[in-house]
A = this chain, B = another copy of it.
Amino acid sequence: MKLSEETCEACRADAPKVTDDELAIMIREIPAWSPVVRDGILQLERIYTFRNFADALAFTNRVGAIAEEAGHHPAILTEWGKVTVTWWSHKIRGLHRNDFILAARTDALFCTDPD
């Protein structure tokens, strides 16, 4: 099953972080994403580019919609022609499998952009 088709599970404070091996495997499905460490927390980040501000903001809203649906929320930085999306799991201060699922779904939003 593709990551984007998996179901997110409830993330509790004692949920397991992804292991290095799991990360190495799952990142292959979302190769445009980079693992980044910020404030000591491992996160997944990708920059999407657009033709203008309006297209960027429209994408932000689409990402917001899947976040609300999943009950899991990223940081979304909207700028002229650019949206930076960062996923991580606040409760475990790191990456859960859910983050990879949502990253894959974010990619699917971009690929299906009517533009």
Residues of A within 8 A of B (CB): 53-54, 57, 60-61, 64, 67-68, 73-80
Which residues of chain B have C-beta atoms less than 8 A from A67's C-beta?
A: 53
B64 touches A73 (CB 8 A): no
B78 touches A76 (CB 8 A): yes
Please measure, in the bound complex, the distance between the C-alpha atom of A108 and the C-alpha atom of B54, giving whole angstroms.
22
A75 touches B77 (CB 8 A): yes
Given B57, B68, B75, which contacts A64 in the complex, CB threshold below 8 Å?
B57
B73 touches A75 (CB 8 A): no
> Which residue from chain B places its CB closest to the CB of A65 in the assembled complex?
B57
Known A77-B75, A78-B76; contact A53-B57, beta-carbon cutoff 8 A:
no
A15 → chain B closest CB, angstroms: 18
B68 touches A79 (CB 8 A): no
Which residues of chain B have C-beta atoms less than 8 A from A79's C-beta?
A: 73-76
B75 touches A75 (CB 8 A): no
Given B53, B54, B64, B80, which contacts A78 in the complex, CB threshold below 8 Å?
B64
Given A53-B64, A73-B79, A75-B79, 19 more contacts at CB 8 Å? A53-B67, A53-B68, A53-B73, A54-B64, A54-B68, A57-B60, A57-B61, A57-B64, A60-B60, A60-B78, A61-B61, A64-B78, A73-B80, A74-B79, A75-B77, A76-B77, A76-B78, A76-B79, A77-B77
